[in-house]
Amino acid sequence: MINTTLCINGKKWQKIDYKVNFPPILNNLVGDYDWINCEFIGNNLIEVHFRQNPDFRYNNTEAIPVWDDFNHNIGNEYQFIKDSDYLRKGFWIK
């Protein structure tokens, strides 16, 4: 079992405390990794990275990605962080 720390809920990404089984496809990994970042949609493994998830490096519990076509204000409880990547401008975090 592994602890899950990210759930994609529509357009808002949230940290959660939920345990999932270690993906069997990764059982034969060779090497010693400090982090294995597994991203899921539902029960389907869609990405694996050998690093922490950088979207939560600000000690935030929520992240709303801001894309090129997104231009409205979320609210006072969120702070905007510029973090450009392809079409993403940054995040509203809290």
pTM of the entire predicted model: 0.69
Listed as ranges, residues in the chain with pLDDT below 70 are 1-10, 69-73
Number of domains in the chain: 1
For 13, the domain range is: 2-93
Residue 39 class from Cβ within 10 Å (0-12 exposed, 13-18 middle, 19+ buried)?
middle
| Cα–Cα distance, 78 to 28 (Å, whole number) | 41
Any alpha helices (H) in the chain, and if so which ranges? none
| Cα–Cα distance, 34 to 92 (Å, whole number) | 28
Contact 33, 50 (CB under 8 A): yes
Contact 53, 37 (CB under 8 A): yes
* Number of Cα atoms under 13 Å in the Cβ half of residue 10: 1
What pLDDT does 73 receive? 67
